[in-house]
Amino acid sequence: MQPIFTITNRKLLYFALTLPILWIIKANGYPLPPLWDQAPNSLTDYPVIKSHGKSIISINPWNYTQRLGLYKCLLNATDPYMQPIHMHGKSNILWGLAVQLGWQKETGRLNDLTNTTQCGLPGSDMDCIWPLSWWGSINYFLSAIPFLASLKANMIQAKYQVILTQPKLKSNVEKAKFCFSIKDCYHKYNSTMVMWTSFFTHILNIKKQHPNLLRNMNQLTPSEDQILKLMWTAHTQSLHATLELFATKVKYLSHPEQKFALSWANLVYFIGSCHFITDFNNTVSMQVNLLPKRLLRNGDNPPFVKDFNQDINACLFITEALRDANLATDNLILTLWNKAMCTPKGRRDGRFFLTHAITQPKTLISSFLRVLGDILKSPGC
């Protein structure tokens, strides 16, 4: 019988040695996304223009600080629903999206990779997000669309209609892949907009019953679990809508970066299925210690990239191996994981496995066996 996928003995040994320390957190501080203080705080910080005699709030999502401001507006609007006092303003689960955009900016993943323009480069057009960036295009559906959905749900209230600036692309076909208003996005990506709108509507409707949400990732109330379910359902729908849509943009990435990007997208489905809590501390601690600090280049071969530390090399290798295994088994790995995550206990075990067990080798086997037991016992979703 042929193996599902081949790993050299050297890589297999590395996998075994590094797995227990993959999730160890070493960072002393948790930095905010780059230029956070310069990003707009509310809709009143964006320009108002006249169009056909009407006032319109104009937002340029291809400007990094303006796109970052969308997250800032969302966080400010939703904080009253997801902020236990003891968390000092960092427990909001939408922090994960803002922090990811900051990492993409900091590592050059939003820049012009063809070097034909100065888009994104320091000292020139630093705020520019390259319209052909694979990472930037995927993130559009995790920033612009959630923001417009929050307007539809009245989570954020706008005095005037909000219109998003179109990207500077020669191809009208490529431009048309994006949407620029509530009406336009509902027309082009109805399911994605509906799911994000449902998320914001839900947390608005439960404010009176649960003013302080998401207190402990291993002790979620049914209401908290439902909020995470709605958020992750919308998140993965955004991802699903974009992977094929922007498949041609991976050609601008090196081969190792392509593999990492698609493997990272695959991993999101596993993370989302266990309703992982993407608050500030959880997201930043893993991002600082586990994600590459630069674009991968041709010749980079995880887990043996010389200028990456052991944790980052291990993260890259395991993430890519997971995607390889999932593809080779026609999504069987994800299907089994999803089956285990069908119950509150299964999701709790999944979160524990991802965040605690791997940092404690003595509990690694027992936590894995709990997830395996959840697969066997779960009746399915």
* Residue 220: per-residue pLDDT: 78
Choosing from 233, 248, 263, the residue where a domain stops is 248
Domain shared by 198 and 326, yes or no: no
Domain shared by 5 and 85, yes or no: no
pLDDT at 51 over 60: yes
Domain shared by 242 and 345, yes or no: no
Choose the weakest-confidence range: 1-15, 157-171, 206-220.
Answer: 1-15
Query: 194 falls in which pLDDT band (50, 70, 90)?
Result: very high
Domain shared by 172 and 282, yes or no: no
* Residue 89: per-residue pLDDT: 54
Q: CA 57, 109, 97, 122 torsion: positive or negative?
A: negative
Give 216-271 pLDDT, tens digit per residue.
545 678 888 899 999 999 999 999 999 999 999 999 999 999 999 999 999 999 99
Domain shared by 93 and 163, yes or no: yes
- Total number of domains in the chain: 2
Q: What does DSSP say about strands 48-51 and 161-164: parallel, antiparallel, or unpaired?
A: unpaired
Query: Model pTM?
Result: 0.87
Choosing from 214, 248, 282, the residue where a domain stops is 248
Range of the domain at 199: 31-248
Token pair 């401001």 is found at: 69
Three-state SS sequence of 317-370: HHHHHHHHHHHHCCCHHHHHHHHHCCCHHHHHHHHHHHHCHHHCHHHHHHHHHH
Choosing from 225, 248, 271, the residue where a domain stops is 248
User: Within 10 A of 131 (CB to CB), how many other CB atoms are there?
Assistant: 21
| C-alpha–C-alpha distance, residues 36 and 68, integer Å | 7
- Name the helix (H) or strand (E) containing 161: strand 161-164
Domain shared by 51 and 85, yes or no: yes
Domain shared by 200 and 333, yes or no: no
* Residue 381: per-residue pLDDT: 76
* Residue 286: per-residue pLDDT: 83
User: Within 10 A of 61 (CB to CB), how many other CB atoms are there?
Assistant: 23
Domain shared by 264 and 237, yes or no: no
Give 274-292 pLDDT, tens digit per residue.
999 899 988 998 888 889 9
Domain shared by 5 and 38, yes or no: no
* Residue 40: per-residue pLDDT: 97
| C-alpha–C-alpha distance, residues 22 and 15, integer Å | 10
| C-alpha–C-alpha distance, residues 233 and 17, integer Å | 34
* Residue 176: per-residue pLDDT: 97
* Residue 102: per-residue pLDDT: 97
| C-alpha–C-alpha distance, residues 156 and 149, integer Å | 9
Query: 9 falls in which pLDDT band (50, 70, 90)?
Result: very low
Give 21-37 pLDDT, tens digit per residue.
332 333 335 789 999 99
